Structures are given as C-alpha cells and as structure tokens.
C-alpha cells in the first residue's frame, strides 16, 4: 500500500490539472483583453492627436485672419470701399458705369467688341481707331 501512495503523489490528480488549466485560461483571457484595450486606447490617442493638430492649425489660421482684420491696412481698405471714406487731402472720383458695359450682349454691330468682326479688324481698330 505504501508504494501506491508514493505513486499517487507523483502523479497530479485530475482536479489539480483542471484548476491549473482554469487559472491559466483566466490569466490568458485577462492578458489578451488588456492587450486589445491598450491597442484600442493607442488608436484613439492617435486620432485625438491628429484632431488636436488640425484644431491647432485652424486656430493659427484664425489668429492670422484676426490679426489681418485688426490691421490698419484692412480697416482703411474697408473704410474706403464700404463707407466711401477718404484720407485728408485726397479727392474721391466716382466713375459711373455705362449701361452698355453692364449688360452682356449689348454690343452694336461694327463695334470693336462685336464677336462677328474678324480678328485683323479688331487689331486694326485697337491700334488705329480714335479713342
């Protein structure tokens, strides 16, 4: 009987093998889950870094635009164009547009803008006609 006991201690029982296998599977599942979570976190971090750099570039361009819009050059240009203001000592000349230049297709036959005229005639009128 003693010999049998000695051999039973040398062979692991089925329960010990199952418990060890379950613990191993538990740890493997935990390691794989942690690896996948780390990979997803790294991907999300990469996307967020790209979004941050895009927003920083957008912020820089908006700051440049704000600096331009705040500049005296832009303010003077807008005052001239939209408000009709002028610098002291300047004279403002307003040239009204003629009605024929505002309407497309309003050229008279024989005029230099007539599309039916030949190209040599247009050049002749350009160089030699009285303006």
Q: State yes or no: pLDDT of 30 exceeds 70.
A: yes
Look at residue 55 in the predicted model and tell me its pLDDT.
Answer: 97
What does DSSP assign to residue 104? Answer: T
Can you tell me the mean pLDDT for 102-114?
58
Distances (CA, A) of 86 to 68, 75, 97: 20, 12, 21
Between vectors from CA 100 to CA 97 and to CA 106, what angle results, nearest 5°? 155
Q: What gap in Å lies between CA 51 and CA 53, rounded to an integer?
A: 5
Tell me the per-residue pLDDT of 33-71, one tens digit each, with 9 for 90 and over: 999 999 999 999 999 999 999 999 999 999 999 999 999
Q: What gap in Å lies between CA 85 and CA 78, rounded to an integer?
A: 9
Domain boundaries, the chain: 11-86
Q: State yes or no: pLDDT of 4 exceeds 70.
A: no
């Amino acid at each position: 009987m003693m010999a049998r006991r000695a051999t039973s201690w040398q062979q692991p029982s089925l329960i010990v093998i199952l418990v060890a296998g379950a613990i191993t599977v538990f740890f493997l599942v935990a390691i794989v889950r942690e690896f996948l979570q780390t990979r997803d976190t790294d991907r999300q971090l990469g996307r967020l870094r790209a979004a941050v750099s895009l927003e920083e570039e957008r912020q820089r361009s908006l700051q440049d635009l704000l600096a331009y819009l705040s500049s005296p050059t832009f303010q003077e240009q807008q005052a001239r164009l939209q408000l009709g203001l002028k610098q002291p000592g300047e004279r403002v000349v307003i040239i009204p547009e003629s009605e024929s230049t505002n309407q497309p297709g309003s050229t008279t036959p024989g005029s230099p803008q007539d599309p039916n005229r030949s190209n040599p005639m247009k050049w002749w009128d350009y160089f030699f006609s009285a303006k």
